[in-house]
Chain A
Amino acid sequence: GAVVSQHPSRVICKSGTSVKIECRSLDFQATTMFWYRQFPKQSLMLMATSNEGSKATYEQGVEKDKFLINHASLTLSTLTVTSAHPEDSSFYICSATTDREAHGYTFGSGTRLTVV
């Protein structure tokens, strides 16, 4: 079946630095990738939708200059948290699909970001 690889699984960074999270579709071409954020004991909140070769669409309230999304190829999307602060600490999850009509969404295993 479809596999989405997300890397790193855990990262600790210092306040003020930037962190890049990768989301790769391993055995299919993902036309659309989604980035979610999940706070402890809460649901997933959609941050942005990215389509290969075009600018990401951000949800209301998500700072696009803080959370940079690049979807340069059909198998890779990256989320860069710029100038990270402790309040950015969270669990970030990506999902990818190649067949929106059939809703074939596959999720990555998530990235636990801790900003100290």
Chain B
Amino acid sequence: AQSVTQLGSHVSVSEGALVLLRCNYSSSVPPYLFWYVQYPNQGLQLLLKYTTGATLVKGINGFEAEFKKSETSFHLTKPSAHMSDAAEYFCAVSDTGGFKTIFGAGTRLFVKA
């Protein structure tokens, strides 16, 4: 079985500060890992994904995440937060068969001016 834990339901940063959203996963098989962003009353947009290969993954809008197998983590970072980054972020995991994606509970990012 697979599961995802996002540490912190709310994260608040100042504009220009580092963004760090934490995600830990559990999987009995090599996982595929994802970060999605959701704006109010909208669907999800894929920020980045890790399948195989390079463990540091770069996504859209300046976000990146690093797959650390030893720590079972896939934390999302961005060097400098913008006001437009304020949204809900979901970490997700699926198995290599790709049949089902399990989502974390989400982290709401607030960006202060």
Contact = CB atoms under 8 A, between A and B. Distances in A.
Interface of A: 4, 6, 9, 34, 41-44, 46, 49, 91, 93, 95, 97, 100-103, 105-110, 112
A49 B43 contact: no
B45 interface: yes
Given A41-B106, A42-B105, A105-B46, 9 more contacts: A4-B43, A6-B43, A43-B104, A91-B41, A93-B44, A101-B98, A103-B49, A107-B44, A112-B41
Nearest to B101: A105
A93 B43 contact: yes
Contacts of A4: 43
Nearest to B33: A103
B19 to A, nearest CB: 20
A4 B55 CA distance: 29
Interface in B33-76: 34, 36, 41-46, 49, 51
B94 interface: yes
A91 to B, nearest CB: 8
25 contacts: A6-B43, A9-B41, A42-B105, A42-B106, A43-B104, A43-B106, A44-B44, A44-B90, A44-B103, A46-B100, A46-B102, A49-B99, A49-B100, A95-B44, A97-B98, A101-B98, A102-B51, A103-B51, A103-B98, A105-B46, A107-B36, A107-B43, A107-B45, A110-B41, A110-B43
Interface residues on B, range: 20 to 34
Interface in B78-113: 90, 94, 97-106
Contact of B34 (A9, A41, A103): A103
A6 B44 CA distance: 12
A99 to B, nearest CB: 9
